[in-house]
């Protein structure tokens, strides 16, 4: 069974701090996706990483795909209150289903 383990599950930081969220698996994924979910809304795709070692940037967010395509990380620089939300990593398993990590609830205090 392909599983995605996310850490940390909860993160509460002050505005301006940096943070990293990790998404790990013992299985290889052809690609991994990162979604962000705000309260009362559905998840919204932020990025898809496809190539091992790939780094993608989205403003203050940096996403990395591990060389072996078993893990990914999301780094946020100078976090702002607007970054508050639930961050989910996800990948398609061999059965074609999109499976999600447990999520990281980020709270950025002004």
Partner 1 sequence: DTAVSQTPKYLVTQMGNDKSIKCEQNLGHDTMYWYKQDSKKFLKIMFSYNNKELIINETVPNRFSPKSPDKAHLNLHINSLELGDSAVYFCASSRSASRGREQYFGPGTRLTVT
Give me the residues paired with residue 55 across strands.
64
Residue 55: count of CB within 10 angstroms of its CB: 12
| Contact status: 102 vs partner 1 (CB under 8 A) | yes
| Contact status: 1 vs partner 1 (CB under 8 A) | no
From residue 62 to residue 91, what is the string marking binding to partner 1 with x (rule CB under 8 A)?
------------------------x-x---
Phi/psi of residue 82, nearest 5 degrees: -70, -10
* Contact predicate 61/52, CB 8 Å: no
Length of the chain: 110
| Contact status: 100 vs partner 1 (CB under 8 A) | yes
Q: Which two tokens stand for residue 98?
A: 């999109």
* CB of 97 or CB of 110, closer to partner 1: 97
Binding residues vs partner 1 (CB under 8 A): 30-31, 33, 37, 40-45, 48, 50, 86, 88, 92, 95-100, 102-103, 105
């Amino acid at each position: 069974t392909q599983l995605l383990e996310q850490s940390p599950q909860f993160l509460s930081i002050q505005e301006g701090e940096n943070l990293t969220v990790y998404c790990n698996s013992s299985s290889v994924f052809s690609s991994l996706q990162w979604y962000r979910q705000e309260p009362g809304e559905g998840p919204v795709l932020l990025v898809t990483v496809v190539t091992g070692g790939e780094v993608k940037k989205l403003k203050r967010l940096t996403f990395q795909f591990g060389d072996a395509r078993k893990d990914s990380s999301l780094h946020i620089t100078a976090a702002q209150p607007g970054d508050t939300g639930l961050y989910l990593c996800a990948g398609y398993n061999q059965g074609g289903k999109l499976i999600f990590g447990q999520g990281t609830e980020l709270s950025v205090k002004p």
